[in-house]
Amino acid sequence: MQIIVYLPPYLKSSHADERGFVTIEEGATLKDLFELLGVPFPLGTVHLCRVNYEKAKLNRTLNERDMVSFFSLISGE
């Protein structure tokens, strides 16, 4: 399934395409996504992450077309 991910620049990942879509297995959780993207310190960064603009725990199951956003004021130059 595909979900859309807004990554901050310090978490740049080759798994996301140009439009931010990431392909992940059905039934994957937020923790699985963090591991796939190589997000460091998941327990810390989860506080800055939202799924469909709602707080989510690491065991949150993701669905097709979910939007995962990270809070960041930094967009790069």
Q: Looking at beta carbons only, is 24 or 68 nearer to another protein? A: 68
Report CA 19 to chain centroid distance, whole Å.
Answer: 13
- Round to whole Å and give the CA distance between 14 and 18: 10
We find the least distance from the C-beta atom of residue 76 to another protein, in angstroms, to be 4
Q: Looking at beta carbons only, is 19 or 26 nearer to another protein? A: 19
Q: Looking at beta carbons only, is 23 or 71 nearer to another protein? A: 71
Subset of residues 5 to 34 that bind another protein, contact rule: CB under 8 A: 6-9, 12, 20
CB 10 within 8 A of CB 44: no
Subset of residues 35 to 74 that bind another protein, contact rule: CB under 8 A: 47-48, 50, 53-54, 67, 69-74
Rg value, the chain, Cα = 11
Enter the tokens of residue 23: 């392909």
